[in-house]
Structure 1
Amino acid sequence: MGVRELVEGATRLLAEAGVGSPRVDAIELAAFALGLDRLELVLAPPAPEGFALEYAGLVERRRLREPLQHITGRTGFRYLTMAVEAGVFVPRPETEVVAQVAVDEAARLVAAGERPLVVDLCTGAGGIAVSVATEVPAARVWAVDASPAAVALTRRNGAGADLDVREGDVRDETLLAELDGTVDVLVSNPPYIPPDAVPVDPEVRDHDPDLALYGGGADGLDIPRAVIRAAARLLKPGGLLVMEHAEVQDAQARDAAAVAGAFTAIESRPDLTGRPRMLVARRIGPLSVTDSQP
């Protein structure tokens, strides 16, 4: 059998197993087995010796719902190809929109002649931080995570970028105290799942670390509230807070920012499907003429 026929068979197997994107995953696994960045089936090369056996093993792992990214060790995020490994949260496409707001704000400040300081809290594999550091190279970017494995992976993904990566807990009121009142953009995709909302997908439930999923407290918002408190302390007047949350948490996130008493222009913004998925707010304080709403 050729590569195309093997991919078609794998697609059927993955669909029967309930994999959400069986054809995409079957093609990606074939590309990985062939040592290619991507595979166009109409131009598929002949199956090399040993390919069918290796490919069958990869497909079986995916059929058992091991995350595709763990199998290939990579994932795409914006313009990046990022390393992924078990024990660290896999970056999600919806977070690319959150990163875009941070990138746009940093780029706006650079265009105004500034060298912005951007902090990414709960960075995970570093998708947001590395995106800002590579897309806005004039920015200074710090990334923080409580997981040593996530810190190590972010350093690996950010190699060559102007990126300072630290281990730390966002609930620590002294975290990054040396930056108090100096940060231009604080961005975060914190854990926010409530304890009774166990994810349905086995790829998430059985493979993403609990530390990166569950936000603490009955509503899952203990850690997001800690992010908001950290933003109130770290951001300079006019600085921007951008934080991802679940679509059902928009009102609670806005309320938490309002209760903090340090923010204005508090709003929820949608993801690509129109669902309210991020909190955006400005640190109260005197604004320069360049500190308009992004």
Structure 2
Amino acid sequence: MIPSAFEYIRPGSLSEALAQLAQGGDGAKLMSGGHSLLPMMKLRLAAPGTLIDIAELPELQGIMIGTNEIVIGAATTHAQLEHHAELAEAMPLLPSIAGLIADPTVRNRGTIGGSLAHADPSADWPAAMLALDATVEVIGPKGQRSIPAASFFKGLFETDLRLDEIVVRVRIPAGSNQRGAYRKFRHPASGYAVVGVAVVLAYEANRCSGGRIAVTGHSAHAFRAKAAEAALAGYAGQPDQTERLIDLAFTGASPLEDRFADADYRTQLGRTMLRRALVDAISPV
């Protein structure tokens, strides 16, 4: 189908984008890569009166790797993250996840900020941001806010981002004594995660001292498996502890259902992905 008529604007600065967003009101939509919004427009599931293209804004660009944190501009594409050699050295989990997203066409245009703002329940980046304890920085008419990833995802396609705010960047703490892994069961058509699990284990004196487990695709929004996280200390791949962690991770979680995966199947996939991610995370790097 052909989208409804709309006005296309490409602002030259972040302040200009904010002004245009405020002026457009509820009828204005931001676009970066466009791989989430444009299909919805073609299906007439979304009909913005004004489309504000922020993909080229300089304030949203760049990957900065520091001693204590990694900062990624919101308009950074999946492909840029996938192929960034310095990032692969500093935090290999990020390029590995980027390379699993959809296909090369999507990775070359889609952006990390757009994915987080859209908050598709099966997107890959939300699990990564939760497992890495990232902070999402946004800006609006009232100034800038820093939102912990743990508070950012609220529901089905719902975040803490306000209608008049723009995702600017994400900040990820850098830790040398941690190991990460991501496993997902890929939908054969879309490439989205039917279920995906990100695991980050922290180490002290070669012993696991804790960590974070995040799940995407299983429920209405990505979530931290906090009960399982509380049992990570001392984990070294013991089969009985692995099964206990898996039980804790999905107890009480409400699985999505669709024509591809019913609730039981989706939960079983999640358990399998977590089991594999745990194995990957404890393997020597």
| TM band (smaller chain) | under 0.3
In the superposition, the TM-score normalised over structure 2's length comes to 0.27
Structure whose residues are more often strand by fraction: 2
State the structure with more CA Rg.
1
